[in-house]
Amino acid sequence: MKNKFTEFAERLGISIVEVVDWTGYATFLYGQAILLSINVAKIRRFKAMLFQCWVTGIESMGVTLLFAIFSGMVLALQTGYEMKRFGAEALIGALVAVSMTREMGPMMTAIILTGRSGSAMAAELGTMNVSEEVEALEVMSINPTNFLVVPRLIAMSIMTPALTIFANVFGILGGSIVARYMINVEFSVYFREVWRFLDLWDSSWGIFKAWIFGMGIATIACAQGLRARNGAEGVGRATRNAVVIGLMFVVSFNFFLSAIYKILEDLGFKEWLTDTTGIGGATIG
């Protein structure tokens, strides 16, 4: 007869095997989708991709921009009063711009897309899976990865960086409203500081992070959906997992990618890029 410890060890073992199995599947799915992405040139797949761009990106625009504006406003509000005590309120623009472009813009966009588009993708593919539609594609010799995953993956990898750029801009604009009407910093001063502290490579790294997040969210959502089993309950679980794993992915990869950038910065990568291309770099040191 099993004792409680054996039961616990058994469950733990099964959970670890399931996690490794699913991670392997998601990695395989991602690799397969990347290899098949070339097919996006086929007009029908291109149309499917455009449709996904609309669903995942354009339809998420409103909520993302609203979040971005209020995030910029909160950022300006929380830091503005403190900076004012030290007479440094003129630098609010710099702080909001750097925070938005490096961290908040990409991360906030990714979180919104995980909740909105990732969950929808998992639910959609999960429902298709439990109602035999994915199997129907297979027996018609239509590769489900090519047909279902590739358009979503490409759409998310385009729309997440695109939305991030908009989020950055609207976050900075939101901050300017608080800076002007609550902290009494003139627009001209605010935007001068924004411009002075904005760094092309910092902003680009933020957009690069958004690109990684977009592909990760799509892969996780599709992998969860395509592995959904047991009817409505399974679809619900897949949707929940897509959001939870997606958020964990975004938060953890945000740290790792930021750390990598800091290491590259310490190694003089940014200066090398600026010297090599002749563009970018902060205007003040």
Q: Who contacts 253 (Cβ-Cβ below 8 Å, separation ≥6)?
A: 209, 212, 213, 216
Q: Among 41, 139, 279, 284, which residue sits at the site for another protein (rule: CB under 8 A)?
A: 139
Candidate list 44, 47, 229, 262; residue touching another protein; CB under 8 A: 44
In the complex, least distance from residue 145 CB atom to another protein, rounded to whole angstroms: 12
Q: Kindly state whether residue 140 participates in binding another protein, applying the rule CB under 8 A.
A: yes
For 227, the token pair is: 């592995």
284: exposed, middle or buried (Cβ count in 10 Å: 0-12, 13-18, 19+): exposed
Distance separating alpha carbons of residues 220 and 138, to the nearest angstrom: 21
Q: How far apart are CA 101 and CA 103, in angstroms?
A: 6
Q: Which of 26, 75, 122, 128 binds another protein (CB under 8 A)?
A: 128
CB of 219 to another protein, least distance (A): 21
Quick one: which of 9, 16, 66, 136 contacts another protein (CB under 8 A)? Answer: 136
Q: How many angstroms separate the CA atoms of 164 and 156, rounded? A: 12
User: Is the Cβ of residue 137 or residue 264 nearer to another protein in the bound state?
Assistant: 137
Tell me the closest approach of the beta carbon of residue 128 to another protein, in angstroms: 8
Q: Which stretch binds another protein (CB under 8 A): 8-16, 96-104, 130-138, 277-285?
A: 130-138
Give the range of 27-35, 56-64, 134-142, 182-190 binding another protein by CB under 8 A.
Answer: 134-142
Instruction: Check if the beta carbon of residue 129 is closer than 8 Å to that of residue 231.
Output: no
Check: CB of residue 243 under 8 Å from CB of residue 114: yes
Give the largest Cα separation in the chain, rounded: 76
132 lines the binding site for another protein (CB under 8 A): yes
Binding site for another protein (CB under 8 A): 44, 128, 131-133, 135-136, 138-143, 147
